[in-house]
Amino acid sequence: MIDPVWSSGLTYASAIALLACSVTLVYMSTKTFNFANASMATWGLYIVYTGVAFYGGSPYQYLLFAFLFGGLLGTIWYVTVNRRLLRRGASETVLMMSTLGYELVLLSAAQMYADILTGYPFLMSAHGLPPRYINFEGWLWDSVIRGLDPLPVILVMSGIVAITAVLLTLLRRKVKLMSRTSAITTFFLFFIFEAAITILLVFGTTLITVVSLTMAMSILVALHLFLVKTKFGIALRATVENPQLADLGGINSDRVYLTSWIVGGGLASLGGAVVAFTSGIAGPELGWTVIVPMFAASIVGGLYSIYGGILGGYVVGLAEYLVINALSLSLGGWILAYRPIIPLAIMVVVLLFAPQGIAGLQWASIRKKVLKLGKGITEVSAENGTKEGKIATQKADR
Amino acid sequence: MALPGPALLVIGILIDFSIFLMVTLSLNLEVGFTNIPQFGRVIAVAAGGFTAGAIPGRLLALAMGLPAGADYANDLTNNVVVGQINNVLGANIPLSIAYFVLSLVLAGIVGGLVGWLTSRPAIRLREAYLGISLLAFGDMLVTIGVNWQPLVGGTLPVGVPDPFRWIWDARSLAFCIVAVALALVTLMLTQRLTKSPFGRTLKMLRDNEIVSMAFGKDIVKVRTRSLIIGSVIAAVAGALDVMYIGSDNAAAFTRLTWTFFPWAYMMLGGVGNNLGMVAGVLIFIVADNIILHLSSVITFLPFDPTRLVNLLGGLVIVFIVVFWPRGLIPEKNETTIPKGRIQEILKKIGESDQKA
């Protein structure tokens, strides 16, 4: 069995990745930093909870409904308030503040819902799920994948990887669907993902880890294909880059914003439902507790890139679990309570050195700087600090 | 003298009002005038509250020879120690007053320090980045307060010596008078500040940063000063709150109560107008109290009535943003010299015109 820290950590990281991706998507297109993401996440949890408590079955069945409900919440907000504010040309701060109002409304609605449900004792007796202290651990540990036999798993996974390689080559050669670099990148990422899944399956882990990882990765792929290959996705990117020009080009910005709110809301609810699996005990304040990691993750990833959002989510989520675990082993259990400080620390470091986030890093200029530094060092050591050497180094620096 | 029920209610409302008015005024200074997305108001309030809970009590305990180190915050020790301090304070009026003033002053100093610290990110970050950073700092501070036991007792709140023990019967009334006085002083202070050259600099920088910098206004210094002043006011409010309640519960310094609701009060009242803050805070506090007291009458509600308070806050923010973005009392255009003087000058010009 894989160390539970890795299992829970990967699940948590996938959830934060989804949440951060939703924040970034909505911010990218509508410049609205969505505070209400927190309560949309909470409502995702409560949709899954309602399904399980009233209709039975496993929580995984209701994830789709959570996504749809989140989309509904996003639509409601866009149609009632956000559209008006965008047309008015409201500033970012005003847009942010308005979502705070929506957040309080949704929070109180979730709290009222939990209060009302508490009056139905059958929920607690039938499924052991009090509405305010929801604990999905039963499902978590019932659906553990105990280490599968390595050989068949590795064979199947290698088969999948080989088929993907062949498909990509065919697509490239015959249909000219993508350039060589993007084919190689895609293959590389897919290989890493398959390797991770193989390790998880061979060593054994909880089902939610595999499910959440697969979900996050497939959503990433789906979003990428949507943004790059479909007409509407390209329209969305155009609206993000230059709304006025996109308008001139005949793109209906209203539909673009609506779509981003629907997808953003859906992802938020999905992320919230997954987070509940790791939190142990979840209640109406679930969103409130993930708000800092979620926002830190989207800032770390870079507010203008979806891939950055997901990457930032994995960085922050995994760091929270792994760093705190490592620290607790050396410093003692008391440090576990200070887990919320990790996202803040990462965010501070990233903002100091890369204010545009990880996705905003200019790799070309970084490479140049590193090479120059390396050249300077080798020249100094070669010339042993002679006068010619010093002049040569100065010339190289300039 | 036992106060009648309704009087106690009014006193409670007035104390709440005064404390939140101070917090909201400080927020207005930073958000309305300096345009900083201050989502970390709870930092200064919590800093003031922690100071008031951690330091003055320990000083008194030291003076009295009682344990004043890490075990001061230990639940069992703390009960005994604070009880003894309260006995001494109850008998000694000058000492009580000195303790009260010392608490507020210390809280103010720590608040100023915290304000300076929070101004460091404000130099380079803007808008969403700054807001989230401040939000996260607030979270961090409260997490430390809740988990580091020697500070204010962690999860078992430390007791705070009562500065008004000597008027035990009318303690609430005494607190009410002092709190309202402090709130009025803060209101006068912020009004003078915003009508002063400093206030005009703030507004100039807020409205057109590049032009102001071309005129030589140092934005970093101005933002820092504004943040420090705002944090001092908020810290004093936090200390006052802690001393009124009598115990320093770190977990009570939630984002919701001390950052987001003051934003709601400020937006309702009218961002950029200090008198608007009075209106906003008053309306909200009264409405909240009405809801909470009606709930004891209307018992058929299937949910906890505090949910309605959150709902009201959210709805108010949404409606204000959509329909009334400038708030109840919008920001006034301040003239450089008072209106009366302008009238005199106009009259003089009119007279000289007639003569000519």
Q: What is the mean pLDDT of residues A72-79?
A: 96
Sorting pLDDT into bands at 50, 70 and 90, what band is A356? Answer: confident
Q: Which residue has the higher pLDDT, A310 or A355?
A: A310
A111–B304 C-beta distance less than 8 A:
yes
Please tell me if residue B37 touches chain A, with a CB cutoff of 8 Å: yes
pLDDT of the residue at A264: 95
B314–A108 C-beta distance less than 8 A:
yes
Which tokens is B135 given?
């939000």
Distances (CA, A) of A221 to A195, A327, B64, B94, B269: 17, 34, 68, 71, 47
**What are A238-290's pLDDT values in tens digits?**
998 888 899 899 999 999 999 999 999 999 999 999 988 887 677 888 888 89
Please tell me if residue A98 touches chain B, with a CB cutoff of 8 Å: yes
User: What's the ipTM?
Assistant: 0.88
H or E element at residue A320 = helix A306-331
Name the residue facing A299 among B129, B313, B322 (closest C-beta). B129
B133–A27 C-beta distance less than 8 A:
no
Name the residue facing B263 among A85, A97, A343 (closest C-beta). A97
B308–A108 C-beta distance less than 8 A:
yes
pLDDT of the residue at A396: 53
**What are B56-90's pLDDT values in tens digits?**
888 888 888 887 777 788 878 888 888 888 888 88
Scanning every residue of chain A, which has its alpha carbon at the shortest distance from the alpha carbon of B317? A101
A340–B143 C-beta distance less than 8 A:
yes
Name the residue facing A100 among B121, B260, B307 (closest C-beta). B260
Q: Which residue has the higher pLDDT, A17 or A143?
A: A17
The distance of B314 to chain A (nearest Cα, Å) reads 4
The single residue listed with the structure tokens 């390209």 is A234
CB pairs under 8 A between A and B: 123
Q: Is B356 exposed, middle or buried (0-12, 13-18, 19+ CB in 10 A)?
A: exposed
CB contacts, 8 Å: B315 with chain A: 101, 105
Sorting pLDDT into bands at 50, 70 and 90, what band is B16? Answer: very high
A100–B317 C-beta distance less than 8 A:
yes
Please tell me if residue A344 touches chain B, with a CB cutoff of 8 Å: yes
Contacts of A292 (CB under 8 A, 6+ apart): A340, A343, A344, B135, B136, B139
Scanning every residue of chain A, which has its alpha carbon at the shortest distance from the alpha carbon of B263? A97
Q: Cβ atoms within 10 A of the Cβ of B295, count? A: 17
CB contacts, 8 Å: B40 with chain A: none
Q: What is the mean pLDDT of residues A111-130?
A: 74
H or E element at residue A379 = helix A363-383
B318–A107 C-beta distance less than 8 A:
no
Scanning every residue of chain A, which has its alpha carbon at the shortest distance from the alpha carbon of B144? A338
The percent of residues above 70 in pLDDT, for chain B, comes to 99
Please tell me if residue A338 touches chain B, with a CB cutoff of 8 Å: yes
Give the span between the Cα atoms of A44 and A40, in whole angstroms: 6
Which tokens is B227 given?
């943040």
pLDDT of the residue at B276: 92
The distance of B346 to chain A (nearest Cα, Å) reads 39
B317–A344 C-beta distance less than 8 A:
no
The distance of A12 to chain B (nearest Cα, Å) reads 19
**What are B90-135's pLDDT values in tens digits?**
888 888 899 999 999 999 999 999 999 999 888 888 777 888 899 9
**What are A176-224's pLDDT values in tens digits?**
666 777 778 778 888 888 888 888 888 877 788 888 888 998 998 899 8
Please tell me if residue B124 touches chain A, with a CB cutoff of 8 Å: yes
Q: What is the mean pLDDT of chain B?
A: 89
Please tell me if residue A85 touches chain B, with a CB cutoff of 8 Å: yes
User: Quick check: B254 and B310 in contact, CB under 8 A?
Assistant: no
pLDDT of the residue at A364: 76
H or E element at residue B105 = helix B93-124
B314–A115 C-beta distance less than 8 A:
no
Please tell me if residue B19 touches chain A, with a CB cutoff of 8 Å: no
pLDDT of the residue at B292: 83
User: Quick check: A108 and B304 in contact, CB under 8 A?
Assistant: no
Give the span between the Cα atoms of B236 and B242, in whole angstroms: 10
B322–A81 C-beta distance less than 8 A:
yes
Q: What is the mean pLDDT of residues A367-371?
A: 83
CB contacts, 8 Å: A20 with chain B: none
**What are B300-313's pLDDT values in tens digits?**
777 777 888 999 99
CB contacts, 8 Å: A94 with chain B: 321, 325
CA nearest to A199, candidates A363, A10, A376? A10
Please tell me if residue B70 touches chain A, with a CB cutoff of 8 Å: no
- Beta bridge partners, A145, equal A205
Name the residue facing B315 among A92, A105, A334 (closest C-beta). A105
- A119 three-state secondary structure: coil
Name the residue facing B314 among A84, A102, A337 (closest C-beta). A102
B303–A33 C-beta distance less than 8 A:
no
Q: What is the mean pLDDT of residues A30-34?
A: 91
CB contacts, 8 Å: A98 with chain B: 317-318, 321-322
Q: What value does the CA radius of gyration of chain A take, rounded to a whole number of Å?
A: 24
pLDDT of the residue at A177: 67
pLDDT of the residue at B1: 47
Task: Give backbone dihedrals phi and psi of B220, rounded to 5 degrees, phi first.
Answer: -65, -45
The DSSP code sequence of B30-62 is IIIIT----TTHHHHHHHHHHHHHHHHHHHHHH
Determine if residue B310 is left, alpha or beta; phi over 0 gives left, psi from -120 to 50 gives alpha, anything else beta. Answer: alpha
Q: Which residue has the higher pLDDT, A322 or B168?
A: A322
The single residue listed with the structure tokens 């009508």 is B195
Does position A81 have pLDDT exceeding 50, yes or no? yes
Please tell me if residue A303 touches chain B, with a CB cutoff of 8 Å: yes
Give the span between the Cα atoms of A98 and A85, in whole angstroms: 9
User: Quick check: A264 and A127 in contact, CB under 8 A?
Assistant: no
CA nearest to A40, candidates A77, A84, A81? A77
Does position A384 have pLDDT exceeding 80, yes or no? no
Please tell me if residue A103 touches chain B, with a CB cutoff of 8 Å: yes
The single residue listed with the structure tokens 């700054």 is B130
Least confident of A350-359, A384-393, B119-128: A384-393
Q: Cβ atoms within 10 A of the Cβ of B11, count? A: 21
Q: What is the mean pLDDT of residues A27-45?
A: 93
User: Quick check: B310 and A288 in contact, CB under 8 A?
Assistant: no
Q: What is the mean pLDDT of chain A?
A: 84
The distance of A267 to chain B (nearest Cα, Å) reads 21
Q: What is the mean pLDDT of residues A123-142?
A: 64
Give the span between the Cα atoms of A314 and A17, in whole angstroms: 6
Please tell me if residue A10 touches chain B, with a CB cutoff of 8 Å: no
The distance of A229 to chain B (nearest Cα, Å) reads 31
CB contacts, 8 Å: B144 with chain A: 338
Q: Cβ atoms within 10 A of the Cβ of A231, count? A: 8
